[in-house]
Amino acid sequence: MTLNEIAQKLGLEVRAGRNALLTEVRGGYASDLLSDVIAHARPGDLWVTLRTHLNTVAVASMNGLAGIVLVNGREPDAEALEKADTENVGLLVSSLPAFELIGRLYTMGLSGMRT
């Protein structure tokens, strides 16, 4: 499933990285600790977080993540938007709390466990 398909099904708002919307999402990861994401998220994961700053985009790009979804209606700062466009990282926003969004992603077939 692509980032664009997920965005459409869940009503996510794209804030940056529109060129990344055809990226294939292979799994999911949820954390607000950058070091945790660096250590445990895998390429192709969709990252669910409330972190809105520039370093979030850098971590996603470095780890080859499929994209970032900010929860609770949080908005990325201007530097993060610019970096996401430059690094071609899909940056999306959801008004849902993390627990609800992750549950919906799971019912769509995404999992944090891959073999």
What is the DSSP code (8-state) at residue 12?
P
CA neighbours closer than 13 Å in the CB half-sphere of residue 107: 7
What's the pLDDT tens digit per position in 32-65?
A: 999 999 999 999 999 999 999 999 999 999 999 9
CA neighbours closer than 13 Å in the CB half-sphere of residue 26: 10
- Against a cut of 0.75, is the pTM above it? yes
Q: Where are the domains of the chain?
A: 3-107
Place of tokens 């520039």: 54
Residues in the chain, total: 115
What's the pLDDT tens digit per position in 59-109?
A: 999 999 999 999 999 999 999 999 999 999 999 999 999 999 999 999 999
CA angle 79, 35, 48 (to 5 degrees): 65
**Is pLDDT at 24 greater than 90 in this prediction?**
yes
pLDDT at 112: 86
Token pair belonging to 71: 């929860």
- Domain 3-107: which CATH class? alpha beta
β-partners of residue 46 are: 28, 67
In angstroms, the CA 20 to CA 49 distance is 18
Average pLDDT over residues 10-33: 97
Reported confidence tier of residue 115, pLDDT bands at 50, 70, 90: low
In angstroms, the CA 34 to CA 3 distance is 21
pLDDT at 42: 96
